Amino acid sequence: MPIKVLFLILLFIFQFISVTKAEVPVKAAFVRDHQLWLKDGDQEVQLTTNKSVNSPQWSYDGRFIAYIDGDEQGEKSNLWIYDTNKKENYKPYPIIETSLFRWSPVANELAYLSGWVLNVTKTKDGRPYGFENVSLGVSEFAWFPNGKEFIVSTQSGRLPTGWEPIKLYQIPKDMNLNENKAVLLYSIQIDENDLFAVNVGDFKWSHDGKWVSFLGTPTPSWAMDSNPLCVLSSDGKIFKDIGRMLGFSDWFKWAPQANQLAYISGEGRFFVKNKITKVADIDASTNQVEYTPKGYVDLDLDWLSPSKVIVARSHENKAWEEGPVPTMFTSLYEIDLASGTQNQITFPKENELDVNPQVVESYLTWVRRQDKNYKADVWIQHDMQKVANIWIEDVDFSPVLFKK
């Protein structure tokens, strides 16, 4: 009898542990010691050796991870793909040098820029392989939500009469360098005293595909302090200049179920002051609400739910004027847009800071690191639980979460 009881107890414990792990369906690609790793629930697998990996991106269905194998000198930027089904790394073409690539939102097709040429991969044995030319003269691009077209931008040039407009085009993925298939969506008029940019990029679509947001990049020195954030309707008929911010792509994000754009406003390259979370209602004449209390700065954000935003927040440091730039010791705060209430939800120790909040399904993740230490740990918390745990240790930078 005691043996039977013990067996039942062990069986119960085993089932409980299995269920507990199954309740964490979060999957991430991350980099540790320059190598690509996969974290699936509680399991870690190293995917590369003898590489210098950066910029991993998931394919739409999670089968593939594209990444760049580079070097510290920036002289190498080769595109590779890891196939999670066959568990192998391969090159989609013998040599593809790029720093800008994006997966289709509906298929395992990979588009990338090589110089000023936009290309898209073919398919071989169910995997992205080979490529076809799409268009010349492209500065930046993104897929349309239907996966059949691209929005692409040109770069402005300085003429004796002033700066050329930046033009946005809609082009089919099967354009095959046929210039007659390009449709002009919008021309952005450049004014150094108003909206100044040389090119635009970091395109992001609203949840319903009716709007696309993007950042403008001025000349290098100017871009360190101020970048215009803009939105354009999908038909190119409505253009809105939203505000000015620093050039960090993670600092502006669409709401999951509404045409609201949360972003961190404020000019000036140093994080010590003037970094304010705003939410712009794009459908309502771009009405904007500020949420950062006086005396604080917000330095990253993500949407926790349709009505809540998570920000990485620190006290201002207006006293600093010169010398080494001070570390801003951020903690995570939850902002309830409906009620306006704001609560601190993470409490790092002295000389620690919490950054890079990311939400996937019902889980919140963030990176915690010590001051002056670029190695960090990834923490995770379920929205129904108050206890947070270390999920991934010793990462080089923020993980890339797989989102269905």
* Residues found in the chain: 404
- What pLDDT, on a 0 to 100 scale, did the predictor assign at position 287? 83
Q: What is the pTM of this model?
A: 0.92
Q: Kindly state the tokens that stand for 175.
A: 């354009």
Distances (CA, A) of 173 to 6, 54, 181, 222: 62, 26, 10, 34
3-state secondary structure 308-356: EEEEEEEECCCCCCCCCCCCCCCEEEEEECCCCCEEECCCCCCCEEEEE
Q: Could you state, in chain order, the average pLDDT of each consecutive group of 10 residues for the chain (404 residues)?
A: 43 37 75 97 96 97 97 86 98 96 98 97 96 98 98 95 96 98 98 94 97 96 94 97 97 97 97 97 88 98 97 96 94 96 96 97 96 92 88 97 91
Distances (CA, A) of 315 to 62, 252, 276, 311: 39, 21, 12, 13
- What pLDDT, on a 0 to 100 scale, did the predictor assign at position 7? 41
- What pLDDT, on a 0 to 100 scale, did the predictor assign at position 22? 36
Report the C-alpha gap between 362 and 344 in whole angstroms: 19
73 by DSSP, 3-state: which?
coil
Which residue do the tokens 């991870």 mark?
Answer: 65
For 277, left (φ over 0), alpha (ψ -120 to 50), or beta? beta
